[in-house]
Structure formats: structure tokens, C-alpha cells
Structure 1
């Protein structure tokens, strides 16, 4: 979609605000076609708080003034955002990640980088999309006490830390960058979880739950790239691509089907599971982005190796992975502004934008 705007009459002083209002109006329209997101509140730590315009300089301030069901649009910044303690149901949307690596992502390549989001039990039902967690220390992550969460299209550099017995958390289309440890960290040994959906993620660490005497069960683990070890109990384990050659997998599932394994594994001989040939699978890192390297080759024999002939890996299934974790709102990926303008003829602005399903 391309749109050409011509602005006149004091364009020098009003262009920036007008452009932002137009874009935010476009986002509001998109939201209204899907579900109610309440009030939209802008968060930008390089601006001054303006309550009348619903602009906030800190995450916590935006949260405190928000009502249940509101949306916090966290804009890209060269300054990291601080901590957020959530006590109410909100939607938090950032800019996505790897914006310089993939084409047509955003005209601005600055990220919404978070430190800690502490999701208290009263924030049940919250949604998180397009966030990036910093990597400076082990505290950059989610601390979770609430049920019924959706965590999607985010770059998570640490464990998801569970500090309560929780249920019904959907973790989809994320990129987990940390290696050498489990995606889950349990605050205490007696905590459990249930009804966890873990689909269409890229995981560089381990997918383990541990402590089999305590209920830590998944409903669905499907269409993931798993680069570490696996030790889980789940209803469905299907269409995953396991790239590690670690043969110590413990997968307790009644639907362990159509997964691709890199190395020799007894699971790869039953229920449509198989060992893949590395040269015939991914396009690879030399010709693609950090997350785009997991696209299957156009001539790969594994394109239909998933359950009932579906595509295995992150780009298959009901929630295919979206490059760079772009939120499902319109994004402007090219902005061309004329060098000169006038009150008579206006200022020519060419915008290229797209929606992200």
C-alpha cells in the first residue's frame, strides 16, 4: 500500500504531529476491526509526559494512568525503557526486532528495549507483542505471576521466570536468544504450570520443565525450531525441527508426530518423525537474517513433512512466524519527504506501509 500526502498551511510546525496523528488513527482503525484495545497510550522516553495527549515518558507512568484493557504503544528509542510492574490487564506493543536485517520492516530502526516486566496476578489476561529485552544482565525478562497471558513476537534474551503456579499462557512466534539454560526458570521448586501453548518459536536454549512430581504440562508444542535439549510433558508435540544432536530427549506426549531431528534418535523412526538432511532443509544464515535463516528451501523435500502434509518448522501451522516480530498493525517501512515545500503547493510525502498479519 502506498499513500501520498500533501500538507500545506504552516506545515513546518505541524507536520510531525499531523503525521503521528494520521498513523495512530490508522492503527486505531485496524484495532477496531479485530477487538477492543481500549484507549491507546503512547510511551516514549524521549518525550515529556502530556496527559491530555496520552503521551508518557515512562512505562510505569503510562501503566498507572491506564485503565483495564488499554493499550500501551511503546515507541522505539535509543534509551532503554526501565522496569514495569503490572497490576492490571493491559496490552503492551513494541516495535519488533532485527529491524535492520529483514526488508520492509520499519522506516525507523530503533527498538523498544525493556528491562523487567513483572506481571502480577491481578494483570491476568494481559497481552505482550513486539518487545525486546536487553542483555546486560540476568534480570532482563518477564517475571510471571498471572494466568491467561499472551506473549508473542518478542525477542527474549533470558528465561521466562515463573513466580506463581500459573495456567493458560500462550507463547507464540518469539525468538529466544539465550543458550545453555531452560526457557523457564521456576522461582521456587514447588511451583508448577499447566495449559501452556508453545508454538512457532525459535528457541536457542533448552525446553525443559523438570521436577516430574510437580505438574508442569504443556497443551501444545508445535512448529518450533528447537536448538537445545527437550524434557517435557505435553498433549501435542508436532511439526518441530530439533537441530541439536543431543540424543537425551524426554518427550512425554500422546501425539508425538512429524518432527524432524538432526541426529540419530529413536523417536525419529515412528509416527512420521524422521532424521533430516542438513543440506536439504534451511536456506541458512549466509543468505538470510538471524530469524530468516530458518525458511525452508524452495526445493526442500521436507516442505510437506509435517502432520497431514503440512510444513514443519516456524513458518507452518496455524500461527506462522513473522520475521522481526512485527506487530499485527500497519507499519511504515519507507518514508520519502521532499526537501522543499510551500504553503501554496504543500510538502510531498510518499509513504510505503503494510499490514502485518
Structure 2
């Protein structure tokens, strides 16, 4: 038990190095000795101030849903942790239910979290980075009101192809969608203005008033209205063949594939892929290219302990060796 507490304290210390605000532990596992057992109770507590950090520890127990009216940084454990090397010693994800972004939460950030229900946006100025949107039969991110200044970076959307991973149906500006694997549909209306860089689209797309660069599209229904697009790849004629775009590229020629690779690692480019160096300024197209390449398992940009070796010594002491890795 003492060893466990020491390791937890070390993990919190690592996070604290990257934040001047207070870090609070949230863990629904029985007897976890965390500050809070649900994310809503952490959010509502008067001791948790705007600008603080909630560390959602990996667990088989979810921390519940959150109606958010306070600016917070929320850090999770990552996802697909058992499929990729040197991720976390604790390979359980940090599971959050329905998330509703309300007034007062502007400036918040979520990273390394697993959402198993829809994220509803009533306000903007929000960052979603390196998360897993794991809800199959339902929406990923759904906007309910006018909201702008939204960054969606390096996430993995497992949304069913029958549902929208991204749904923007109000007035939206300054929206950046970059380096995401998007399994479900994408929809924006005519009041949307945004930028799409280095994404993989796996289903129907309808986009207005946007710039699209270095993306890969798998499905033939790809509608763009008042958009500029260059250096993209389509498995059909989604982007045509002008302005550095490629068309009718076989999906089998692009990626390393699922065999022997992790759920997210399968989208890495294979040797000889036509996507290598095919992007703007010679960058790779797809989620592992560009200025902010996809990070396997959505590891948050803090050091993570991925191995522990504990040995008892004759002197009745415990020798503990930790291996940690930063994922900036």
C-alpha cells in the first residue's frame, strides 16, 4: 500500500510540473483514496478553482458525466494502452460519460480521456486533444449553440459510420480539426468556418466554408461547398487531381494495416505509400503527418510511468525501479 501511494504521489508530482494550479485526483475505483470519485463532484467542489487540473485516473469504473461551468484542465490516462508499447503501467482508460460544455467553461482542455457518450457544446474556446470518442451508436461532438474557437486535435473517433463524429449545426468560426481519425460522419452547415488538416475521414462528409489540406478520405460521399482544398488523397474522386490532390488511390496502398498493429497504429503509412511526402511542403498526409502528428494511445503531454520493478532486499527494504516516458 505504501508503495502504491508513493507511485501515485509521484505521478501527481509529474503533472504538477506542467501546471501552476492545484491538481486533483478523480478515481471511482473502490478504496482508491482519491480526492473525488466522480468528475461532477470534483467540478462542483468549492475547493476546486477555475484553472485547476483534474487528473482522471485509469479505472474500469467510469467517473460519470459532467455538466461543466468552470474552466478546468482534465487529463486522462490515454486509450488503447495495452495495444501500444511504453504507455502506462495502469492500462485502464479514463472513462467520462456525457459531457456538456456550458457558459463559464471557456478555456478548458481535455486530453487523454475516453468519452463513452456524446459531448455537447453550448460554448466554445475549448480544446479536445488526444482523446478517444468511444461511443459507437451516437454522436461524438454535437453543437447545440453558436460557439467558436474550438480545437479538435489528435483524437480518435470510433463513432459508428451511421452517426456523426462531428456535428456543427449553428454559427461557428475559427474551428481547427487536425490529425484526427474520424470513423463516423462529419457535418457542418453553411454558417461554419474552419480548417481541416491531416485527418482521415472514413465516412460521409459535408463541409462548408473551409480549408482542407493533407487529409485522406475513404468514402465516396464527400461534399464541399465554398471550400479550398489541396494536397489531399481520396480513394475515389473526392478531391480530384488538381492542386496537389490525388484521386482513386487504393486504401491498401496507404497504410500498414490492422494485422500486427494497434487499433490506432494501423493508420501509419506503409513503406512506399503514396501519402508519404505528398502533403503541403513535403509533409505526409494523414494523421501522422503535419505539425502535430497523432500520438499513439492518446498519451497526454506529461511524463507517464510505464514499468515498475519492485524487489525485496535482505535489509527488509523494497527496491523500486520506475521507467517513465514523456509524450510531448
1:167-206 map, 5 Å: 167-178=148-159, 179-185=161-167, 191-206=170-185
Residue 141 of structure 2 corresponds to 160
- Cα distance in 2 for partners of 1:173, 1:295 equals 13
* Residue deviations 1:150-198 (CA, integer Å, cap 9, x gap): 0111111233121211000000101111122222346xx6x32221110
Alpha-carbon shift at residue 349 of structure 1 (Å): 1.4
What are the residue-to-residue correspondences of 1:1-357 with 2, within 5 Å?
A: 14-29=2-17, 31-32=18-19, 36=20, 38-46=21-29, 55-65=35-45, 66-134=48-116, 140-156=117-133, 157=135, 158-178=139-159, 179-185=161-167, 191-210=170-189, 212=190, 215-218=191-194, 220-244=195-219, 246-254=220-228, 256-265=229-238, 267-275=239-247, 276-338=249-311, 340-341=312-313, 344=315, 346-357=317-328
Provide TM-score, normalisation by structure 1.
0.84
Inter-CA distance 304–208: structure 2 relative to 1 (3 Å threshold): same
Q: Give the whole-Å Cα distance in 2 for the aligned partners of 1:327 and 1:198.
A: 18
On the 8 A contact 1:141/1:160 being kept in 2, the answer is yes
Contact 2:15–2:23 (8 Å) recurs in 1: no
Change (3 A) 1:88 1:49: farther
RMSD: 1.9
Q: Please report the TM-score for the alignment, with normalisation by the length of structure 2.
A: 0.92
Structure 1: which 5+ residue stretches go unaligned? 1-12, 135-139
Residue 252 of structure 1, CA deviation: 2.9
1:280 deviates by 2.6
Counterpart secondary structure, 2:12: helix
2:37 and 2:63 in contact (8 A); partners too: no
Q: What runs of 5+ residues in structure 2 fail to find an aligned partner?
A: none
- Alpha carbons 2:112, 2:132 under 8 Å: kept: yes
Residues 233 and 349 of structure 1, relative CA distance in 2, 3 Å threshold: same
**Contact 1:132–1:154 (8 Å) recurs in 2:** yes
Larger Rg: 1
Return closer, same or farther for 1:152/1:306 CA change in 2, 3 Å cut-off: same
Shift of 1:48: 6.0
The alignment of Structure 1 onto Structure 2 pairs a total of residues equal to: 320
Q: Distance in 2 between matches of 1:144 and 1:49?
A: 31
